[in-house]
Amino acid sequence: MAGPLHSAMESPIVVASNRGPVSFERNEDGKLVARRGSGGLVTVLGGVLERDDATWVAAAVTEGDREVAPRGRKLEGAAQRVRYVDIPEDRYDGYYNGIANGLLWFAHHYLWDLPRNPSFGERTEHEWADYVEANRAFARTLAAESKQDPVYLIQDYHLTLVPRMLRELVPEARILHFSHTPFAGRTYLRTLPVEIRSEMLRGMLGADVVGFQGRQWGENFLLSARELDEVHVDIRAHRADVDGREVQVRSFPVAVGAFEIREASQSDRAERLRTQVEKIRGGRRLLLRVDRLEPSKNILRGFLAFELFLQKHTEWRGKVVFLALLSPSREEVPAYRDYGRDCRAAADRINAAFGKEDWTPIVLKVQEDFTYAVAAYANYDAMVVNPVHDGMNLVAMEGPIVNAHGGVLILSRNAGAFGRLGRHALAINPFDLSETADAINEALQMPDEERTRRARGLQRSALAHTPATWLAGQLRAIDEVRTPSE
């Protein structure tokens, strides 16, 4: 394969992800206005790309996006352009709800109750066909951007087939696939139907660089890829050889943009919301959690651990409020809906058992409101981040960047963020309710000096990396595999 003319650092960037940085809607005056997309991916990539020569290709989710789709649109006040892939609604359902979030999400986060779930049949076959076609539609749109010899950055489990499909359309393309999630171990991945598993692996191997949040997930990927015919894997060298091409498997842990989050926290609205949070606290200690409402976040066990804490440490009854800010997520998928219902029921039950007229132990708010979360970050005494498994978990970094109250972080050892923040946090096994309850107790009792020391360590570690360095690491890796000609 001939070398590219320019280094990846100097080349235009084309990002592809299911959810875009903005979504277009018509306002009352009939004008198309852009609304910020939700989720961690947008938080990380949005900030870093705004100032760059970049095109962001995403699936159309609103009628406004569909209108913008054919030609794309430049974002107001930014150098960035957005383009949308118009996937018919019924296909989108099989691709996004069925395969991406109903199946791959569960596989990579180890969420199945294996004696009962999953079972695959005709429905999975149809949904898989939708997933293949949605990925193909992305690949075609991306190929149409190939004239300027860009670097393609393909995001996440929604688009695992795109690198290979794009390579077939544009053989010389420079492609990186990045997973924001964990990647399932070889044995667990074998739960998937064999075609889905091997197509997904081969699809990702279409890239020059396959990126993960942590080294262990890259190794999981290579251990599974090693089983494919005609793929040669060298685990030590983090490398696979496919069709005469070298594929590098690397880790690029994501980071949070301090500027954006501090700006949000200094807004007038955040100021007003802080007053609301203080009302909820009512002079008590504040325990906080901020999550998308979905099973990998382990919200239910978080509530059960809090219940155990109130049972064991009766002296804290009436003196602490657990504020849970949960944004609705993927409610079309029954397993997510059921999980949300179970979380609410647990909170109601605990409130009924322990609450008093002037004290609600768990205050649960299901809302999509980033500024509210940022406002709550300012003054928590302790924050619970206890995912079952998580690629990184940005909340674990956002909280300490904003918190000015010596807030303690209770952190799952299974969150990617643990590698960066673990030594300053209280570490927990997310399945161990006793350990989590004890950590809550320890956090609330911690002497001020230790709280301050830990909080400073958390903030330093969260600020040591930026989305810009994360992106630069990926571009450097592309250059190593596809060395420019000069």
Interface residues with ligand F6P (CB under 6 A) are: 18-19, 38-41, 156, 180-181, 329-330, 391
Q: For residues 80 and 101, which CB has a smaller minimum distance to ligand F6P in the complex?
A: 101
Q: For residues 390 and 479, which CB has a smaller minimum distance to ligand F6P in the complex?
A: 390
Q: Do residues 34 and 24 make contact, with C-beta atoms less than 8 angstroms apart?
A: yes
Tell the smallest beta-carbon distance from residue 100 to ligand F6P (Å): 8
Q: For residues 41 and 343, which CB has a smaller minimum distance to ligand F6P in the complex?
A: 41
Burial of 30: CB neighbours in 10 Å, binned 0-12, 13-18, 19+: exposed
In this chain, which residue has its C-beta nearest to ligand F6P? 39
d(CA 354, CA 385): 23
Q: Do residues 305 and 426 make contact, with C-beta atoms less than 8 angstroms apart?
A: no
Strand-pairing partners, residue 288, are 323, 383
Q: For residues 22 and 305, which CB has a smaller minimum distance to ligand F6P in the complex?
A: 22
Task: Please tell me what DSSP assigns to residue 96.
Answer: I
Q: For residues 7 and 38, which CB has a smaller minimum distance to ligand F6P in the complex?
A: 38
Q: Are strands 285-292 and 320-327 parallel, antiparallel or unpaired?
A: parallel
Tell the smallest beta-carbon distance from residue 20 to ligand F6P (Å): 10
Tell the smallest beta-carbon distance from residue 307 to ligand F6P (Å): 28
d(CA 479, CA 9): 8
Helix (H, G, I), strand (E, B) or coil at 192: coil
Tell the smallest beta-carbon distance from residue 182 to ligand F6P (Å): 10
Q: For residues 106 and 354, which CB has a smaller minimum distance to ligand F6P in the complex?
A: 106
Tell the smallest beta-carbon distance from residue 339 to ligand F6P (Å): 14
Tell the smallest beta-carbon distance from residue 255 to ligand F6P (Å): 14
Q: For residues 141 and 296, which CB has a smaller minimum distance to ligand F6P in the complex?
A: 296
- Give the tokens for residue 286: 């504040």
Which contiguous run of DSSP H or E holds residue 277?
helix 268-281
- Write out the E strands in 86-217: 151-155, 174-178, 209-212
Tell the smallest beta-carbon distance from residue 34 to ligand F6P (Å): 17
Runs of H (alpha helix) within 407-466: 418-421, 433-445, 448-463
Helix (H, G, I), strand (E, B) or coil at 466: coil
> Cβ of 394: how many Cβ atoms within 10 Å?
24
* Torsion, Cα of 158, 161, 164, 170 (10° steps): -60
Tell the smallest beta-carbon distance from residue 407 to ligand F6P (Å): 23
Which candidate, 394, 448, 430, places its Cα nearest to that of 299? 430
Q: For residues 159 and 439, which CB has a smaller minimum distance to ligand F6P in the complex?
A: 159
User: How many Å separate Cα 227 from the centre of its chain?
Assistant: 28
